[in-house]
Structure formats: C-alpha cells, structure tokens
Structure 1
Amino acid sequence: MTQPVMLRNWQQVVEKVDFAFQPIVSPHTGHVFGYEALLRRWEEAGFTSIQALFDTAWDTGNLHSVDMMLRAKAIEKFARFPGAKRLKLFYNFDNRVVKTEDYQPGQTAALLSDAGLERDTIFLEISERHDISNAGYLKDILVRYRSQGFKIAIDDYGSGFAQLRALYECEPDIIKIDRFFIDGIDRDRRKELFVTQITAFAHMIAAQVVAEGVETREEFLCCRRLGCDLVQGFFIARPSLDIPEQTDIVSSAADIAADSRRQSDRDDDVVRSYLLETPALPIDINPVDILSYFQQNPDISLVPVVDHDGKPLGIVRDSEFKAFIYTPFGRELLQNPANRANIKRFLRRCPVADIRTSLSELLETFVATEALDGVILTENDQYLGVLDQSALLRAVNERNTLNARDENPLTRLPGNSAIYRYAARALAEPRRRRFAVYFDFDNFKPFNDQYGFRQGDRAILLFKDILGKVLSQNDWFVGHIGGDDFFAYVQSIDFEDAVAAVQRVQAMFDAQIKSFYDPETRESGYLTGKGRDGQPARFDLMSVSAALIRIPAERTDITLDHISVEAAKLKALAKTSPRRFAAGIYDPDSNNASEPKLL
C-alpha cells in the first residue's frame, strides 16, 4: 500500500530506487552497442510496479520533475561504465512528460554534459503501449529532441497502438520489436513473417531493429537470419544492478558470431533445417529386415546404407522391395542365401556431398546425376542425412528468400545483414591495404519534401548506378545500409586510388543530380524549405559526403562496429568540409577515442 500522495517525498523515492542495465549487442559480432536502463527496487519505495510509480507522479503533477531526477540517476550511473563514451544509453520515456505544466526542454542535454557524455549518447524510448499514433503533441516535442541531437527509439513495437503513420511521424532511429513476436520465433512462421516485414520497412526508413527478449540460441540465430540489427534478452545477459567490468563485448554472443563467420560462405544452416535424418542401414543387414523397415515406415521411400566406418555407400529404395511384398513367398525369396549374401544387388548409387557444400553446388550435382533420388550429406566423412528432391528444392527456395531479405528492396544492393557478413569475413583476413567508405547524402530531406518520395528514390538509384560504374573496376564491395546511407569496402589498392575513386563518385553525383531540380532551383543553386525546427530555410542542392577509413594493416581483431564508430566522427567532419570528404585511420590503440586520426 503506497503512502498518501501529499506526504510522499519524491527525492527519497528516487534515492531508494535503482537502475539495472541490460546490454544490447550486435548478433553479427557480439559487440555491445549500448545498455537499456531498467528501473528496479520500486517496491522498496512503496510501489507495486514501475507503472504505478509513474502513474502516481502523473496524478500528483510531479511526473516531469520525478522523471528528470530518474534520468539524472541513470545517466550518472551509466557514465561510470568502462568505455561509456562509446556506448548508447536507452532510457524509457513516458509520453505524458511533455504534457506536464512544469516541462522545460534542455535539461537532459545539461545532464549529459555534466556526465561528460555527448547528446547522441541517449536513446529516448517511446513505448508503443501508449497511443502514439494520434498524439499530435508528440511530433512537436520529437522535433525539439532531434534538434538537440537526441536519438529516438520506438519501444514494444507490435504490442499496442502502432501504425505505420506513427513510425513515419516519429522518424525513429531504432524500432524495438516486442518480446511477444520474438518468443518462439524459430518455430512460428507467422512471427517470422511479421519480424521480416517490419525489419524490411525499418531499413527502408534507415532505422535499425532491436529484437527484444531473446532467450534462446535458436531465437538469437533466427533474429540474426531475419536481419535484426541488434538483440537484447536473457540469452545475452540479464539486467544487472552492478557496473560491468567489461562493456565492449558479450562473450557468449561473440562465440556464436565467430562460429557463424567461419561458416558464412556456406548454406549449411539452411540445409540442416531441411535435412532428413533418416537412420542409415549397415551394409551387412539382412534384406528381410530392410523389407520390415519399409513396411513399418511407409513414409520413407529411400534409406542410405553405410559401411562399418559410417561412410555412405548408396541407398536402397522401397520400390525395389515392393515386388517382394506383393509376391507369394516374397519374404522367403529374400531369405535366399544368394540375396542375403549380396545386399549390393539392391544398392543404388546416390551423390554424396559434405554439409558445407553450397546449395548451388548441391543443386548442380543433383541435376547432373542420373539418379534423381536426392543427395546424401556427410560431416567429417560420416553419414549425416539425406536431401531428397522435395527437401532440396525447398532448401534452395529458402536460400533464395534469405538472399532477397539481405537485399535493400529499392536498390537490390546488399543490406545490413549482408554487409555485416561480408565485413566479418574481410576483416578477419590480414591485409596490408584495405579501406571502408561511408557515403551519406546532404540535403536529401528537403529535396524529398519538395519533389516527393518517388523522385527521392530516383536520386538514390542514380547514386547506386554511379557507385556501380566507378567502383566496379577495383572489385569494391558496395552495400546499401538504408535510406540515403551507403557502404563500400576495398582491399589491395593504394590510398590515393581509393580517394580518387570516392571523389569521382561524388563529382559524378554532383553533376548528374542537378537535372532532378526544376530550372529555377538549378539557377539559384539552392532550395527553399523548412528546417527541422519548422522554420523557413535555404538548402544547397543535394550532394554526397564521404568518410574513408583506413583499416590497420594485418589486424584481424577489427570489426565493423569499430569502423562505424570512427566513420560517424569522420562523417561529421566531411559534412563541414568544402570537399564533403574526410579520411582517417582507425587506431584501436589510440588513447584519444573521441577524436578521429586524420590522414
């Protein structure tokens, strides 16, 4: 039972509660992206739930002041984490705060500054459990938060009132999918479809997706396969009131990611899911026992036969034994010493392949062979299972579907998951020369607002075509992160050649994008529109900023997460540079992580 509202000392309440922190990590590398602050010990403050605490604060007109005290407490504790400056803090934001009479903007920025943290450190999580789709006041306050440099996350997506319009209006940086859709997703195709669709939509609006409540390895693997950018849940780590000793990586997730990287060029995850684990028969089995086996297992049409070492020799078909089933004295004929001693009479050849063989090669093997029974798969030369015609075709279809999911739906370039997989492979190989480039459009939103999304899509496709023309000659990898952000990677070329290629891309885009504007705008050299604060403003014609990162030679412990942090700093410099270009080297041993090392 809570104390009477008038007697409550909110300062004492805040002193009694505490925050537990739960890591949010990349499923591709296991590296920590940030932590969510979760309120704990509310019972000791006299409340039955977290919601009861905030409801009481709202009912008594104290919500804003209480929320600010809690924010201060969460930020202060988070700032003591090792490496806090490179991490993100997710803080649950009660939508009703903006309606309080004492609401004053700018206090969060001051709290972060006092803690030595940048404004983009914090992600304000807006719960979809409250109706945000019709909250007009919310859009205004989000504009203010964005203008102050804060990030926005939609929490509990799919649990309540969400509409696509709400996502459009809020322009979230992150969408967190509710635990309900993650629970058992590896066994529920409808949940898988939902997560696939919202992930694709999120990437189209340049937002990242966090899968909440991941509790099993299977859920973890499924979320990664479906393209979720980040994961959170008990499988990764439980919320903890203690300040962690290590904040750069979660070992359990990193180990799984490492296993995945070693198998990244294989289709064995898909193949295993369709593999028929039909028990093999020994070469010395009595033919009568084979007949009994088929009679007892009418759904099985073929069975592999292995030697004494477990290596496959071929298959026997049920059709070979039907004659004995329906022939008088058929069983007696199988007991004939000649048949008993010659099981090879019933043995048929079947292609054999290792589980690590790609599905394309398996399909080619299947088509090329005269026997259309299927393919026997082995692991370490031991029989593993069978892919019959139906299973093989379904596996190929699944692989093609997964490949399509990895593509950006607009440009058909590799998307986030494919970029991570490629980078994991490439960065694990020691190379003397290698470079990563991040491209980001300048003044894209004003153009989009003025000419419409269709013309905006055409501008993105124009840039994709330019990338293909310029970067194809040096075997660059090009990916589409989402929205107007692109990624490129190249190795074994000189720094000067990499710079020249990037700047040629920029110059070609500058020249060709002008035709997308009306003559009057081209003549004036600027576009008139509204800024993020809603006030009229002038915007230069669209261009592209580029940040080029030189990756240390021969290092194999660098990840895409490391590079992306450096790229964010360089992009900020590029956008203020006359050439809209900045180049730097990622130095993992630098003592000054806040400043990029320029080239």
Structure 2
Amino acid sequence: MAFDAEDELIADRPVSKPVMLRNWQQVVEKVDFAFQPIVSPHTGHIFGYEALLRRWEDAGFTSIQALFDTAWDTGNLHSVDMLLRAKAIEKFARMPDAKRLKLFYNFDNRVVKTEDYQPGQTAALLADAGLERDTIFLEISERHDISNADYLKDILVRYRSQGFKIAIDDYGSGFAQLRALYECEPDIIKIDRFFIDGIDRDRRKELFVTQITAFAHMIAAQVVAEGVETREEFLCCRRLGCDLVQGFFIARPSIELPERTDLVQVAADIAADTRRQSDRDDDVVRSYLLDTPAIPSDINPVDILTYFQQNPDITLVPVVNPDGEPMGVVRDSEFKAFIYTPFGRELLQNPANRANIKRFLRRCPVADIRTSLSELLETFVATNALDGVILTENGRYLGVLDQSALLRAVNERNTLNARDENPLTRLPGNSAIYRYAAHALSQPRKRRFAVYFDFDNFKPFNDRYGFRQGDRAILLFKDILGKALSQNDWFVGHIGGDDFFAYVQSVDFEVAVEAVQRAQAMFDAQIKSFYDQETRDRGYLIGKGRDNQVTKFDLMSVSAALVRIPPERTDITLDHISVEAAKLKAIAKNSINRFASGLYDAPCAPLPISGK
C-alpha cells in the first residue's frame, strides 16, 4: 500500500467524505503517464498524443477510476487532478517538437463541482511549460453523465473562455444525447472503441460511424476513431471520413517518450500505398481551392475592416492561431453589420476590445485536403455550409472551398472518371488500370499480387439468355468483388467484357488467395439463380458451340490467375504480368477449382505499352 495506516486510505472501497488524505503528492509521484499518438489516416502525420495514466497499482489502486473516485469521495478531486495535469504537461513538453502537437488529457468533469475549483491554473501550467493554451484538449468522458446540455455547456464555457479545446471521449458508450452535443459544439468527438471493433465486417457499426461523422462535421467538429487495431479497421475509418485515428494498430501507449513526433510509419506507408482516387481528388481540389489569405487570431479588429476593404471580393476570412491551425471564419456581412450599429465603430476602436476577435468568430467545417470530393460534398449537404469548407494539410490552413468551387471540382472529377471507367460497371477501365499499375509496380514491396479474372462459359449463357442478362452477370461479379475483397485495400478494374483485374500489396499470400477464392465461390453460388429451373436442375446448359454443334456447357463460373510479383523489383510492367497471367489462366480453366498462381521470375524484355 502506498500510504501509511494513519492516512486511512482504502482504494478499492468507498472512502467517507470527511476523510482527508495528506499525501496525494506521493500518489502522483508513483503514477506515470503513457502517451499514445493520434494520427491522420490520410498521411500518417501525428496530430497529438493522449496522456494515459499508468502505474496506479503502485499507488495501491485497483483501477484508474478507483483513483479518481477516491479523490472525489474525499473532497480532493480538484487538487489531485491539478497535480496530475502538471505531471502530464511537464512530461509532454519534453517531447520533440511538442509546441506543434496537441495534448489530450482525460478530464473528470466532476472537477467543476468541487468546492475548491479555481479556473486559470491549467493556463499557468502550460505557460510554465512554454506551451500555448490551445495545445491541450480536455477530454470529457461520456461515461459520466453529460446528457444535461446546460451542465455540459457550463463546462465548455468555463474552459473555452480560457482558450482550451474540448473533446467528447467514448462517444456512444454512455449517456450522451445529440442535443447536448448539438448545443455545446465540442471541437472533437472520439468514437468509442465498441463501434470501431470489427467495423469493416459490421454494416450497422459502419452506418453508426458514418452518421456520427456527418453530424460532427455539421457542427464543425473533428472525429477521432478510437481503438483501431487492424489494417481493415484503419482503412474503413478513413473511408468513412474519420479525421483522425488512434489505437494499437497505429502504436501502443508508451511511457518512454518517442524519438520522432512527425509521423507514424505504418500509417504513412498505408497512406502512400492506397493513395489512388484520393490523389486525383486532391489534384482537382487544389486546382479549385480559393487561396484566401488568413488572418491571425490576435489581429486588431480594426484591421479586419481594412482587410475587407482591400479585398472586396472576399466575403469571409479564415482565422488561424499562431501555429497556422484554423479557428473559424469572420463573415464580412456580420462584421460590417456590427460596425454600422450605434457606437459599433467606437466599441471596435476601444483598446479594451482590440484583442477580442471572438465576438466575430464563427465555426466552419474543416477537412483535410486529401478528403475525397464525395465526402466534401456530403459535408456541404449535411451542414448547409454556406461559408464553404476550410481545407488543411497536416492540420495547417491551406485554403477555402466554397460552393461554386466545389461544384466545379466535382464536375471535373466526374468528367475525368468517365473517361477512365468502364461504362457498364463504373470500375476503372484500361487507361486507369495501366496508370495505377505503372505507379504501383514502380514501388518496391515485399508482398504484391496481381489477379486476372475471366468468366467460363459466358458466351453460351449470353447466347441463350441475351446480352442484358449477360450484363447482369457481369454486374453481379462486380458487386461480389467489392464484398469479397473489401477486407484489404484491393484495386479492382474492369478490363472489358467478362475480364476483370485486381491488385493488392502488403498482405500475405494466403490472405490474397483466400479473398480470390471467396469471390469465386460467391459467384458460383449466386449465378445459379440466373438460369431457368430446368437448367439448374440439370446442372448444365445445352447450346451450340463455336463449331455450331449442340454441346453441353457447365454453368457459368470464374477462373482466376494470380501472379506473385517478385519483391523489390521495379522493372516489371503490366504487360509483363499479362503474359504470365495468360499462361496461368489456361492452367486455371483446366483445374478443378479454376485457380492457378505463379511467380513472375522472367527477365523483363522490352514490351510495347498498350492500353492507352
């Protein structure tokens, strides 16, 4: 036990309120903080770290909650929390480039109910550590009842007035109501691990996260997906629009301070591997981005009027903090309306108001530049974002995308996609496949596989049931590929007719094979419904072969040829792989399971580049 007997502390049972603990300082000296990074799923860039209490057992507690509950029951919660904040801030400040990062600190919202609560102490701790006030995000856990909107708003007002950021932790786990979040507008909503666990295989969880993400963006808040433990969960959260991710897949919490704090390599590698459609959207968005100059948060309000006078075409101006991070916007109409009120100009010129820009600041949706245009469009629709969306890169202000610019960008993206996609399936066509393969094959990877799919007995089916039914069979397989290959980030293209192409990297050979054969099995099971009952019962189709003779044809199936691409080689092209795949397809069509794989190991002789 960490205490002397005279202190009467029993950590695993309630302690009566009159008991005063005289050595909480010893408790704080025994515990420690581990830090877990919170990163952008688009780049792997580290946004900040969450401080997680560790070694509470050394102080005689059975859990973190037991420590805080004991402090609350004995009337020491505020003083204990301030000691812990001081320790977390001091340790965080020793990180490399700490001034650029954000600190997420779990805040027990019962603190504001304590008799000795005094505002301003956290600001002093940050100042002593050489950090700005907006460095810290105070995480209010939904596990304590925050459904009372007025109570939550009181907490937010208290801390926002001091310049701090607020995050709602464990969202979806407890008592919170949408009304409380809507009225209080937190800066970040962290989605509880329960909804992230297996999200790539659970449509209901996916729908929940999609809706919460849309709601968060509507109130200009960012979303953190907590507890991401697999590559598949990571990719799914990114696809659903989560702004940031956190979990064991990215990095485990560590008591040791990190040597680098710019990015997490595993997330950066995945972002580089999977940057396909987002790259195209990125390029289009950048071309339409309004490079509206931002103003600093400490600007003299009088100078804002000068700004609008010098830029008459600008109707709103973004405001950024000293680190270049967006805080919101100032609208020209609202600012001038204040000026023209009685004594408005005099109030603006009053020295006491010169540093107060908050009265004019309005929240605005914020998104990373690599967010897809589809997600940006959804944000516009959901939020009725008349001001537009502020776009950032690695958390720093980049520009503004207004409604007109967004519509032009979406139109250009759709035009570009139409040129590159198959008109039936809307999958990437030959040009897009070659462009993607050229980039992917130029990047050395230890594990990478290309797969060619080809229908068996497609022509007899088409002759018997017609081209419309043949198109439906092709669309069926397109949908099957989307489901069977969804657990890894596969690229899927439609070469034409009944030929499909797929590519994946950074997965094991067995995983790739299992996904391909799952697609084949799903097609075998579902294509039967496309035949008439008599043919299904018979198990084969009677039709004419190429020699015009009546022949029995097995029910349609799909053959697959998987080419294992040698690691580290960058001299292989899609044409080289196609030659190897043609050999494997012949083997697959004559095998029982219609599958064949092989390693491309031939030297790369020059081949003409086709498919343009």
TM-score, with normalisation over the residues of structure 2?
0.45
Residues 447-498 of structure 1 show CA distances to partners (whole Å, capped at 9, x for unaligned) of 9999999999999999999999999999999999999999999999999999
Q: Counterpart in 2 of 1:492?
A: 506
In the TM superposition, what is the alpha-carbon distance from 1:248 to its structure 2 partner?
0.5
Shift of 1:179: 0.1
Q: Could you tell me whether the CA contact under 8 Å between 1:156 and 1:176 is conserved in 2?
A: yes
Quote the Cα distance in structure 1 between the aligned partners of 2:178 and 2:510.
45
> How big is the shift at 1:136?
2.9
Give 1:138 shift. Answer: 3.3
Asked if structure 1 preserves the Cα contact closer than 8 Å seen for 2:427 and 2:492, the reply is yes
For each residue in 1:135-194, what CA deviation from the matched residue of structure 2 results, as whole angstroms up to 9, or x when unmatched? 633322311211111000000000011111111232100000000000000000000000
Residues 182 and 211 in structure 1, CA contact (< 8 A), matched pair in contact too: yes
Q: Distance in 1 between matches of 2:160 and 2:321?
A: 68
Partner of 1:574: 588
Aligned partners of 1:266 and 1:357 also within 8 Å: no
* Alpha-carbon spacing, 1:111–1:524, altered in 2? closer, same or farther (3 Å): farther
- Cross-structure match for 2:287: 273
Query: Against the structure 1 CA distance between its residues 344 and 70, is the aligned structure 2 distance closer, same or farther, given a 3 Å change threshold?
Result: closer
- Structure 1's unaligned 5+ residue stretches are 588-599
Secondary structure of the corresponding residue to residue 386 of structure 2:
coil
Contact 1:440 1:485 in 2 (8 A): yes
CA contact (8 A) 2:218 2:382 kept: no
CA distance in 1, matches of 2:327, 2:100: 56
1:320–1:93 CA distance, 2 compared to 1 (3 A): closer
Shift of 1:130: 1.1
- The separation in 2 between residues aligned to 1:534 and 1:20, in whole angstroms, is 75
- SS, match of residue 485 in structure 2: helix
Question: Structure 1 residues 331 and 141, CA, compared in 2 at 3 Å: closer, same or farther?
Answer: closer
Deviations 1:331-351 (A, max 9, x none): 999999999999999999999
Q: Distance in 1 between matches of 2:159 and 2:325?
A: 64
Supply the distance in 1 between the matched residues of 2:219 and 2:322 (Cα, whole angstroms): 58
Shift in Å, 1:225: 0.3
Q: Distance between the aligned counterparts of 1:148 and 1:544, measured in 2?
A: 64
Corresponding residue number in structure 2 for 1:479: 493
SS in structure 2 opposite 1:582? strand
Provide the rounded CA distance (Å) in 2 between the counterparts of 1:394 and 1:358: 14
Q: 1:71 to 1:326 in 2, by over 3 A?
A: closer
Structure 1 residue 319 corresponds to structure 2 residue 333 = yes
- Contact 1:442–1:543 (Cα < 8 Å) also in 2: yes
Q: Residues 47 and 306 (structure 1 numbering): CA distance in 2 closer, same or farther, change over 3 Å?
A: closer
Bigger mean CA deviation after superposition, 218-227 or 460-469: 460-469
Return the offset for 1:266.
Answer: 8.4
Residue in 2 that maps onto 1:97 = 111
Return closer, same or farther for 1:90/1:523 CA change in 2, 3 Å cut-off: farther
Residues 301 and 163 of structure 1: CA distance in aligned 2, closer, same or farther (over 3 Å): closer
After TM superposition, the structure 1 stretch with the greater mean CA deviation from structure 2, 418-427 or 373-382, is 373-382
Q: Could you say what secondary structure the match of 2:229 adopts? A: coil
Name the SS for the 2:580 alignment partner. Answer: helix
Assess, with a 3 A threshold, how the Cα gap between structure 1 residues 46 and 172 changes in structure 2: closer, same or farther. Answer: same
The answer (yes or no) to whether the contact 2:17–2:73 under 8 Å persists in 1 is no
Residue 454 of structure 2 aligns to a residue whose secondary structure is strand
- On the 8 A contact 1:17/1:39 being kept in 2, the answer is yes
Cα gap change, 1:66/1:504 in structure 2, threshold over 3 Å: closer, same or farther? same
What is the alpha-carbon distance in structure 1 between the residues aligned to residue 130 and residue 278 of structure 2?
Answer: 40
8 Å contact from structure 1 (residues 440, 545) kept in 2? yes
Choose from 506, 520, 528 the match for 1:514.
528
Say if 1:162 and 1:403 are closer, same or farther in 2 by CA, change over 3 A.
farther
The alpha-carbon distance between structure 1 residues 121 and 320, as it changes in their structure 2 partners (threshold 3 A), is closer
Q: Distance in 2 between matches of 1:475 and 1:159?
A: 29
**CA distance 1:108–1:577, change in 2 (3 Å):** farther
Show structure 1 runs of 4+ deviating over 6 A.
1-4, 266-587
Cα displacement string for residues 212-246 of structure 1 (whole angstroms, at most 9, x for unaligned residues): 00000000000000000000000000000001100
Q: 1:323 to 1:228 in 2, by over 3 A?
A: closer
Distance 1:160 1:288, change over 3 A: closer
The alignment partner of 2:189 has SS state of: strand
Q: Does the C-alpha gap of structure 1 residues 493 and 283 become closer, same or farther in structure 2, counting only changes over 3 Å?
A: closer
Change (3 A) 1:23 1:415: farther
1:369-417 CA deviation, whole Å, 9 max, x = no partner?
A: 9999999999999999999999999999999999999999999999999
Matched residue, 1:258: 272
Distance verdict in 2 for CA 1:469–1:61, change over 3 Å: closer
Contact 1:132 1:138 in 2 (8 A): yes
Could you say if the C-alpha distance between residues 456 and 172 of structure 1 is closer, same or farther in structure 2, counting changes exceeding 3 Å? farther
Aligned 8 A contact 1:274 1:391 in 2:
yes
User: Deviations along 1:525-578, whole A, 9 cap, x unmatched?
Assistant: 999999999999999999999999999999999999999999999999999999
When residues 20 and 461 of structure 1 are mapped into structure 2, their CA distance, relative to the original with a 3 A threshold, is farther
1:122 aligned residue: 136
1:58 aligns with one of 40, 55, 72: 72
The TM-score with structure 1 as length reference comes to 0.46
1:67 aligns with 2:81: yes
CA deviations 1:288-314 (Å, max 9, x no partner) are: 999999999999999999999999999
Matched residue of 2:53: which SS? strand
2:180 matched to 1:188?
no
Task: Say if 1:42 and 1:536 are closer, same or farther in 2 by CA, change over 3 A.
Answer: farther
Asked if the contact 1:206/1:482 (under 8 Å) is kept, the reply is no
Alpha carbons of 1:320 and 1:155: their partners in 2 closer, same or farther (altered >3 Å)? closer
